[in-house]
């Protein structure tokens, strides 16, 4: 088995309104893309690192992440960016993790759990968290049409791990249907009828979308440091 990671970092970050692409926004004086890549550089099983950067900032991102990381330009949507990342994988790579740069504080332990599930034979793996809010489905007029059974719901994070051939096939199968927004690679694989295994995600791996999320993440940097130091001592 040979594992790679594709970190997608080519989004505009409009909802963050920081005046620059989200991946370049700083958290504790370090751009989000640099945070995100660092978790994967710390896992020896990950042999190739690919970052998908905004077209206008590929050189800047390359200088931030260093020469060991391949940087390619992003696509029009997330799915297009993942496809560009997959196209840059080395021929000998058998498994690939796909991670959103918008989750900068992903713990190394989550990356390791995804890799471990792939090693154990899973063809698709996603990190998940139990849902603490009750989730309701609403009708078009905003009234409630149903209440979902919370015990069976999970919030999905990244990195999601895949057998490379399966993910490439899934992307090819769905093509680029402008009508269909794909926010999650596992959904493409599910549609092919392939089982998707779940592993424990982490609260630290929260997704940064708004300025408020960035403030919450800033408050979590210390927790992240402590957990990393603690995990490092155990390794
Ligand atoms: O927009 P959202 O935050 O859901 O994007 C999830 C991830 O996909 C982000 O890390 C973003 O940088 C990435 N993305 C991308 N290319 C796009 C759109 C989003 O790499 N065209």
Tell me how far apart the alpha carbons of residues 175 and 53 are, in angstroms, rounded to a whole number: 21
What confidence category does residue 51 fall into, taking pLDDT thresholds of 50, 70 and 90? very high
- Average model confidence (pLDDT) across the chain: 94
Phi, psi of 98 (to 5 degrees): -115, 125
Give the pLDDT of residue 67: 95
Average pLDDT, integer, range 159-181: 84
96 lines ligand 1 (CB under 6 A): no
In a mutational test of the pocket of ligand 1, which residue from 23, 61, 102 has the highest number of ligand atoms less than 8 Å from its CB? Answer: 102
77 lines ligand 1 (CB under 6 A): yes
C-alpha span between 195 and 82 (Å, rounded): 21
Q: Kindly state if the Cβ of 100 falls inside 6 Å of ligand 1.
A: yes
Instruction: Give the fold, CATH level 3, of 3-224.
Output: Spore Coat Polysaccharide Biosynthesis Protein SpsA; Chain A (3.90.550)
pLDDT 10s digits, 102-129 = 999 999 999 999 999 999 999 999 999 9
DSSP per residue, 152-183: G-EEE-S-EEEEHHHHHHHHHHH---TT----
pLDDT at 178 over 60: no
Q: Which atom of ligand 1 is nearest to the CA of 23?
A: 12
For residue 145, the CA-to-ligand 1 centroid distance in Å is: 31
Query: Tens digit of pLDDT for each residue in 84-104?
Result: 999 999 999 999 999 999 999
**Which stretches of 56-209 are DSSP H helices?**
58-65, 78-87, 108-119, 164-174, 185-191
Which run of H or E residues covers position 71? strand 69-73
CA of 14 to the centre of ligand 1 (A): 11
| CA 210–ligand 1 middle distance (angstroms) | 13
Distance of alpha carbon 96 from its chain centroid, rounded? Answer: 11
Distance 110 CA to ligand 1 centre (A): 20
* Domain ranges for the chain: 3-224
Which residue in the block uniquely carries the two structure tokens 């550089």?
41
Tell me, using a 6 A CB cutoff, whether residue 78 lines ligand 1. yes
């Amino acid at each position: 088995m040979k594992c790679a990671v594709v970190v997608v970092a080519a989004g505009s970050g409009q909802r963050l309104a920081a005046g620059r692409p989200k991946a370049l926004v700083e958290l504790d004086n370090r751009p989000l893309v640099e945070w995100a890549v660092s978790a994967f550089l710390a896992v020896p099983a990950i042999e190739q690192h690919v970052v998908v950067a905004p077209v206008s900032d590929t050189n800047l991102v390359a200088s931030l992440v260093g020469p060991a990381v391949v940087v390619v330009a992003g696509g029009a949507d997330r799915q297009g960016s993942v496809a560009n990342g997959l196209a840059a994988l080395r021929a000998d790579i058998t498994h690939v993790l796909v991670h959103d740069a918008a989750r900068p504080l992903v713990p190394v332990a989550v990356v390791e759990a995804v890799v471990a599930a792939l090693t154990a034979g899973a063809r698709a793996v996603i990190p998940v968290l139990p849902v603490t809010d009750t989730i309701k489905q609403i009708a078009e007029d905003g009234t409630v049409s149903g209440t979902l059974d919370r015990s069976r719901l999970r919030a999905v994070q990244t990195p999601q791990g895949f057998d490379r051939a399966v993910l490439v096939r899934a992307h090819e199968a769905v093509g680029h249907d402008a009508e269909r927004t794909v926010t999650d690679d596992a959904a493409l694989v599910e549609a092919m009828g392939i089982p998707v295994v779940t592993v424990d995600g982490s609260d630290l791996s929260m997704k940064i979308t708004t300025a408020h999320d960035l403030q919450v993440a800033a408050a979590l940097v210390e927790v992240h440091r402590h957990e990393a130091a603690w995990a490092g001592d155990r390794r």
